[in-house]
Structure 1
Amino acid sequence: PHAALGLLFGVDRSTITRAIGEMRGLLAERGCAVPDRPGLRLRTLADVFAYAQAEGIELRLDATEVQVRRPPAGRGGRRAFVSGKKKQNTMKATVVADHEGRTLWTDALRPGRMHDATAARNEGIGTCFQHFSDVEVLLDDGYLGLRRDHPGQAVTPPRKGNKISPPEVLEARLRARHRHSSKRITVEHALADHKRWKQLVRWTHRRENLPATYRAIAGLVSDRNTTD
């Protein structure tokens, strides 16, 4: 608690709260570390795409949700935070990682009701695909709309065969989906690294502070994974 920290440092609780707020903002604006490039950091999605194209890196993108406090009754936009998947009030973070599971970028977070693909589009992923035509991004089945709009760049797993498909077709598609999942699993590892921080399991503070907190934690995790 801030009051306990204030007692330890011999200052008022409000001083600790103000200092934490300032530090949170500074850490959030640092961005994520670049492997083997000390001093260089990725702050925007365009930075990540430019880095991936220059280095020939295949990106992985996925979204995760953090449970937040329910907005007060009567407040506008209250339903926007109700996740269709979790049936809880959440905020959604979109994260990009590389082939080794190192976090390269995370967005400013969106209300949990928003679709994963819509959240990515709102961050400008369509423009990034247009400007960086050599970059491929591995996605899951929730991003089929991006695959339709950006074929060859937005890569989702093959569709499952239907009941009338020959057994060899079903087996081939199953193997292809398994290969895709094995390559994309590194972004799941990156998300798991973030969720090791207790604050991102269930956020009990002001919702407006969660985006900066998540980006600050993502930057710290990227620093640790880059120097390991």
Structure 2
Amino acid sequence: MTNTKELAEDTCQLVYQCRLSLSTRTINHLADLLRRHLKAIRSRWRILPPGKIAVIVLAILRHDQRLADMAGGNDVSESTVRRWRDELIGLLAVQAPRLDRALRKIAKQGGEVVLIDGTLIRTQRRTESADRRNYSGKHRSHGLHFLTLTDERGRLIWISAARPGRTHDNTATRHDHILTHLGTAGLGALADLGFRGLDNNILDPVIVTGYAASRTHKLTPGQKEANRVLAVGRAPVEHGFAHLKN
């Protein structure tokens, strides 16, 4: 049996340059995180400087560059690049705001409503049992499910941990106790049709969902406007919120 990883006789390894659109602020932020981490663990040496490592990891995360390609182009092993990637992801994860603190901050700033939605980040197929768990029948694609909260202008304030792609929005919301945190912070939420039936309190709903049309029920102009507000997640939020509560 031949080793498929061996290069053919008429091939050679080629290293080429490419241009990636990366924010200088993002690169510096990631490099500073790594410098502080290396100082904290008293690691005095890495084969590449923190700034270069940050660029490599961002190329992998933002532009889906293969680990082996980035390793070969920088004269390091693939396992080293994988370790750098996991290390910096961990450093970024520590900085992520907690849900309760993020909602309290919005409330202190005078906010009354947040926008909630689930999204699927598409990925490649995986082997064995993970392949079925990561397949989303709704999107007909493999990926990871994330639950996001934004303010009234659509700016991200919190994102959940990754879950299998087949996870339903309601399941993720209950797992993260979104209703409890919203009630504690005194906030309401606008949600899309994927969250229908999540909040059973009709008189004072915490999460307000859109209207669904059927063969026997057509939407009124006000209901259509409310659904458009949910779809774009922008002003006039108060107008749409009033329609949804009626």
Task: Give the TM-score, by structure 1 length.
Answer: 0.61
Q: 1:176 to 1:21 in 2, by over 3 A?
A: same
1:54 aligns with 2:108: yes
Distance of 2:213 and 2:106 partners within structure 1: 30
1:11-45 per-residue CA deviation (whole Å, 9 max, x = no partner) reads: 444333322221121122222xxxxxxxxxxx122
Structure that is richer in helix per residue: 1
Specify the structure having the higher radius of gyration (Cα): 2
Aligned to 1:80, which of 133, 153, 157? 133
Distance of 1:186 and 1:26 partners within structure 2: 30
1:192-227 per-residue CA deviation (whole Å, 9 max, x = no partner) reads: xxxxxxxxxxxxxxxxxxxxxxxxxxxxxxxxxxxx
Aligned to 2:89, which of 6, 24, 31? 24
Instruction: Give the drift of 1:3.
Output: 5.0
1:63-93 per-residue CA deviation (whole Å, 9 max, x = no partner) reads: 11122333434x3x65332212023322211
Distance of 1:84 and 1:99 partners within structure 2: 30
Query: Please, which runs of 5 or more residues in structure 2 have no aligned partner?
Result: 1-65, 235-246
Contact 2:191 2:230 in 1 (8 A): no
Instruction: Give the drift of 1:7.
Output: 5.7
Aligned to 2:221, which of 155, 171, 174? 174
Q: 1:11 to 1:85 in 2, by over 3 A?
A: closer
- DSSP-derived class of the 2:119 partner: strand
Q: 1:48 to 1:145 in 2, by over 3 A?
A: farther
Contact 2:179 2:207 in 1 (8 A): no
Contact 1:62 1:96 in 2 (8 A): yes
Paired-residue identity, %: 26
1:113 aligns with 2:166: yes
Moved more, 95-104 or 85-94: 85-94
Contact 1:81 1:90 in 2 (8 A): yes
1:145 aligns with 2:197: yes
Distance of 1:83 and 1:7 partners within structure 2: 34
Q: 1:83 to 1:164 in 2, by over 3 A?
A: closer
Partner of 2:154: 101
Q: Which has the higher contact order (CA 8 A, sep 6+)?
A: 1
1:91 aligns with 2:144: yes
- DSSP-derived class of the 1:114 partner: coil
Contact 2:210 2:230 in 1 (8 A): no
Contact 2:183 2:206 in 1 (8 A): no
Note the aligned Cα RMSD (angstroms): 2.9
Instruction: Give the drift of 1:107.
Output: 0.4
Query: Please, which runs of 5 or more residues in structure 1 have no aligned partner?
Result: 32-42, 188-228
1:113-161 per-residue CA deviation (whole Å, 9 max, x = no partner) reads: 22111111101113213322x2011101111222325743211124547
Contact 1:146 1:154 in 2 (8 A): yes
1:186 aligns with 2:233: yes
